[in-house]
Chain A
Amino acid sequence: MRGAQPRSNLFKRGIATAPTGPRNDLVKDRLPVPELCEQETQLITTVVGNYPKIPDMPAPGKWRSAVEKFQKGQLTEAELRQVEDEVTLEAIQDQVDAGVDLITDGQIRWEDGQTHFARRLRGLSINGLQRYFDTNIYFREPVAEGEIAWVEPISVRDFEFARRHSPRPVKPVVTGPFTLARLGRNAYYQSGREFVLALARALNAELRALQEAGAEIIQVDEPALCRYKQEYPLFAEAMTVLVDGVNTKKVLCTYFGDVDGMYPQLLQLPFEVIGLDFVAGYRNWDVIARAPFTKTLMCGILDARNTRLETVDEIGRAIRRITDVVPPDRVMVAPSAGLEFLPHGVAKRKLQRLVEGTRAASQALKGVQA
């Protein structure tokens, strides 16, 4: 009986009925409740992170207009932040309306995954635009020019804001030290290893700050791992430094590739949940069959980078393939990457389909078990 096993996934209970508004303690109280048997096969849905900031054409969207006005000096920074808050609430609402169980704040305030953190750490400057992996979007390259140090919380305010306004549990996301280093440049440290470890120490303080603020689960994004597999030993070392003293549930999220060659070693990392991309990283289908998946799997099975909507049937087949290898109570279903690669309307439909497909698959699993 799976009911007797320790559940690594504590997010399913009571989520749908949670009240809105301030609910710090409610979440804390709710999370450790014992599992109920009939909900065993209720698969959890979640997202990787970012979400479109503007509505579909032809509306320019208030965020885009606000940024333009801010750049022309017609809007104060406080007014721009206000608009970002409003757009964040809309991103939260889209996820809640779709029925996603574990949401993010949509990363509306992130310029890009690198700059958002690098700008607020000491020792890093921000350089020119670089292409973000194999996408057609860009980020600014962080450059280490001095001793890297954490100065103040970077994402805590945003996490608290989202949690205050979300009826669903909110998962803060931090770009990992390995990806920050790999997409950055080291002009200070003696070695690349020192650069990565310095970032890991700095971000450890950020994770601790999120823990302090009451986060029950924290996601660390490390897409660069799929591109620089040969550096896995350094990656593992950095992860140990990163999560030192952090006792929340932790998600290690990879995307844009597979983890072939690093599995099952990956399962020894100090994370309860591992996120894998089954679209760009289609090899992951074979990879996870090679050894028992002993953690919770956040499986990215809806293509976050193509507009084609997966059918409920396709999602069901993919989930069945996953649950053949990983017990359903240790599966979270997600898109393959952040949804900001898509126009707003499509992103919203992907969320709806994610939930629709996952619920249908849960029903089917229940049928099998009954």
Chain B
Amino acid sequence: MSLPLLPTTAVGSYPKPAYLLEARRKFLRKHLSKEELTELERRATREWIQIQEDAGMDLLVDGEQYRGDMVAYFADEMEGFAIAGLVRSYGNRYYPKPVVVGPVGRRHPVTVEWFRYAQSLTSKPVKGMLTGPYTIAEWSFNEHYPTRRELVLELARAIHQEVVDLQRAGARYIQIDEPAIHTRPEEDFDLAVEAMEIVTDGVGAYTVSHICYGDVPKIYPAMLKLAVNQLDLALKNEEFALLETFKKSPFTKDIGLGVVDAHSHRVESVEEVANGIRRTLGVIPAKQIFISPDCGLKTRTAEETVGKLRNMVEATKLVRKELTETRNRGIAETRTAPR
């Protein structure tokens, strides 16, 4: 089954339903077993798969209902990490920050079971979802490796094994999130590129890297060197200002085009989303574009999330129709044009 023109997809996370949040709290207090928690995580995953199908999306995600934090989740499942404690990210939002205390590596596949489960629920393709080595390293304390480089490359080898396992489990689309990649562009960007080469080395699946929150123009066009097929970027939160950057040097990869803001409560209208896509078509050819929210939607309410996904799909259908009409008209005009 192939994807339509302008395939619609998502970045990864969706909000957790109230029953799951409650269950996670109970689990932490040991009032709920791991099995009971997992069952509720599966229920929430089923619900999100259904919501995405109902919305008419083309390339689905599992919604990350089983994850707390995108780095801590991998740290918990891998060798060499401990959780150092809670660190504030903003306001009263805290995240459990991991610390590298020994050689890092995989004990067992981390995400493969969840991928299998999500894919078993739908005939639409589901993306395999990983956090990239640079981001895991950058967002962890390091008490073991003498240099960041050694840590990043060791993590890259571990994530590569995970990519291979996902592919073996049937994943045809694999996303490696690197939201921290532009942290030290002058010092470290080559290291991030080298790490991604290790991660996707010899992989036949279609690969995506999601990059957000930071100075993208600063790493453009260098970011096009990343060894993935697609870069998924947030365009909407800066009202498509990045298009000016892409005009200066052509966007040579596929783009996951963020068309709805993941951090605003407002549900963008169909027309507003369609306009964003239309503006992009003037800069990047349609066949290179996937349509996506700016970022994971886990901080939105379920209603906002469904509203944003629906309007994203409707807007995409509208633009597809316009493109088909233009093409048909073009063909008709060519046919009738005097030679």
Chain A: residues with CB nearer than 8 A to chain B? 52-54, 56-58, 63-64, 67-68, 111-112, 128-131, 134, 136-139, 306-308, 340-346
Contacts and interface: CB of A to CB of B under 8 A. Distances in A.
B88 A340 contact: yes
Given A58-B28, A306-B142, A131 B91 contact: no
A52 B86 CA distance: 9
A339 to B, nearest CB: 11
Interface in B83-100: 83-92, 94-97, 99
A279 B47 CA distance: 48
Given A137-B90, A308-B143, A345-B85, 8 more contacts: A57-B83, A57-B86, A64-B94, A67-B92, A136-B180, A307-B84, A307-B99, A308-B142
A367 B327 CA distance: 86
A345 B143 CA distance: 16
B92 A343 contact: no
Given A64-B94, A136-B180, A306 B88 contact: no
A124 B183 CA distance: 27
A346 B85 contact: yes
B161 interface: no
B90 A129 contact: yes
Interface string B87-117: 1111110111101000000000000000000
A24 to B, nearest CB: 33
A370 B213 CA distance: 56
A136 B89 contact: yes
Contact of A139 (B90, B183, B184): B90
Contacts of B83: 57
A68 B213 CA distance: 26
Contact of B94 (A54, A58, A134): A54
A189 B152 CA distance: 43
Question: Taking each of B28, B85, B213, which has the highest tally of chain A beta carbons within 10 Å of its own beta carbon?
Answer: B85
Contact of B96 (A57, A131, A138, A306): A57
A306 B86 contact: no
B88 A52 contact: yes
B167 interface: no
A40 to B, nearest CB: 36
B88 A134 contact: no
27 contacts: A53-B88, A54-B86, A56-B86, A57-B83, A64-B92, A67-B91, A67-B92, A68-B92, A128-B237, A129-B263, A131-B213, A131-B214, A134-B183, A136-B87, A136-B89, A136-B95, A136-B180, A137-B90, A138-B89, A139-B90, A306-B142, A307-B84, A340-B87, A342-B85, A342-B87, A343-B85, A344-B85
Interface of B: 28, 83-92, 94-97, 99, 138-139, 141-143, 180, 183-184, 213-214, 237, 263
Contacts of B183: 134
5 tightest CB-CB pairs across the interface, nearest first?
A343-B85, A138-B90, A67-B92, A307-B141, A308-B143
B99 A136 contact: no
Contact of B141 (A63, A68, A306): A306
Contacts of B90: 111-112, 129, 137-139
Contacts of A111: 90-91
A307 B81 CA distance: 13
A345 B99 CA distance: 14
A131 B211 CA distance: 13
B263 A343 contact: no
Which of B86, B99, B138 is packed against the most chain A CB atoms within 10 Å?
B86
A137 B85 contact: no
Contact of B87 (A58, A68, A341): A341
A136 B139 contact: yes
Residue of B84, B139, B180, B263 with highest tally of chain A CB at under 10 A: B84
B84 A346 contact: yes
Contacts of A63: 92
Contact of B143 (A58, A128, A136, A306): A306
Contacts of B94: 54, 64
Contacts of A56: 85-86
Nearest to A136: B139
Nearest to A342: B87
A130 B89 CA distance: 11
A52 B84 CA distance: 13
B237 A343 contact: no
Contacts of B92: 63-64, 67-68
Nearest to B183: A134
A343 B83 CA distance: 10
A343 B97 contact: yes
Contacts of A138: 89-90
Contacts of A308: 141-143
Contact of B263 (A68, A128, A131): A128
Contacts of A343: 84-87, 97
B131 to A, nearest CB: 13
A130 B142 CA distance: 25
A58 B94 CA distance: 12
Contacts of A136: 87, 89, 95, 138-139, 180
A134 B184 CA distance: 7
Contacts of B84: 307, 342-343, 346
B144 to A, nearest CB: 9
A137 B88 contact: yes
B337 to A, nearest CB: 50
Nearest to A305: B141
A111 B214 CA distance: 20
A245 B83 CA distance: 48
A54 B97 CA distance: 14
A353 to B, nearest CB: 14
A255 to B, nearest CB: 15
B22 to A, nearest CB: 15
A28 to B, nearest CB: 35
A58 B85 CA distance: 9
A16 to B, nearest CB: 30
